[in-house]
A and B are shown apart, each in its own frame.
Chain A
Amino acid sequence: DVKVTQSSRYLVKRTGEKVFLECVQDMDHENMFWYRQDPGLGLRLIYFSYDVKMKEKGDIPEGYSVSREKKERFSLILESASTNQTSMYLCASSPPGGRDEQFFGPGTRLTVL
């Protein structure tokens, strides 16, 4: 069964902290994505990766960076967390090509105080 896991379900951090969100998929998918979900705004793409060590900016990359050292793992990094980064973060993966669904993890609810 297809599985995408995220390291934490809930996370509370202080302003200015460096935050790591981890995502692991067991489907051998090439493509991986990081979104944030906010009320009234839907899901917005932060970064995506279509191969190991490759990354592309999404629609809202400011304040974030990513790392993909292994095919199954895609990390989202908040260099210096701010209160406006309080959100639900969702990781997804998909096989190569353009016509397959994305599989999502359960999400990490991040609160920045």
Chain B
Amino acid sequence: DQQVKQNSPSLSVQEGRISILNCDYTNSMFDYFLWYKKYPAEGPTFLISISSIKDKNEDGRFTVFLNKSAKHLSLHIVPSQPGDSAVYFCAAALNTGFQKLVFGTGTRLLVSP
């Protein structure tokens, strides 16, 4: 039972355009969400996070949007760069006082020059 879903396995975007990666979740008790980026042969690295009390968080070219009623979050990358090509995982956490993350299946982003 996949509680966190990324329905698009891959996404191709041209350099300079916007990349939008989507993530849906089923458990309404999740209250903290994170995005990680993973390059081949490397471990995932943290990108950006958002608490359920917010609907938007921005960090440079990266913005995460949270729609709690739809149980949906998205990551916007503007402008996209070839170095952004990687697999992106969304993750969700419960407010249990302990950070046990539930990860999505990942979306492979390819940004072409």
Please give the residue numbers on chain A whose beta carbons come within 8 Å of chain B beta carbons, in ascending order: 4, 9, 31, 35, 40-45, 48, 50, 58, 90, 92, 94, 97-107
Contacts and interface: CB of A to CB of B under 8 A. Distances in A.
A102 B46 contact: yes
Contacts of A42: 4, 6, 89, 103-106
Scoring B4, B44, B46, B49 by chain A CB atoms within 10 A of each residue's CB, the highest score goes to B44
Nearest to B4: A42
A107 B98 contact: no
A41 B105 contact: yes
Contact of A98 (B41, B93, B102, B103): B93
Contacts of B111: none
A43 B103 contact: yes
B59 interface: no
26 contacts: A9-B41, A35-B103, A42-B6, A42-B89, A42-B103, A42-B104, A42-B106, A43-B44, A43-B91, A45-B100, A50-B98, A58-B100, A90-B43, A90-B44, A97-B99, A98-B93, A98-B96, A98-B97, A99-B32, A99-B51, A100-B99, A101-B34, A101-B46, A104-B43, A105-B43, A107-B43
Contacts of A92: 43
A40 B105 contact: yes
A81 B61 CA distance: 43
Given A4-B43, A101-B46, A106-B42, 13 more contacts: A31-B99, A40-B9, A42-B6, A42-B89, A42-B103, A42-B105, A48-B100, A98-B96, A98-B99, A100-B99, A104-B43, A107-B41, A107-B42
Scoring A4, A9, A41, A104 by chain B CB atoms within 10 A of each residue's CB, the highest score goes to A104
A107 B102 CA distance: 18
Interface string B73-113: 00000000000000001010101111111111110000000
Given A41-B105, A42-B103, A43-B103, A98 B44 contact: no
A43 B4 CA distance: 11
A100 B99 CA distance: 8
B45 interface: yes
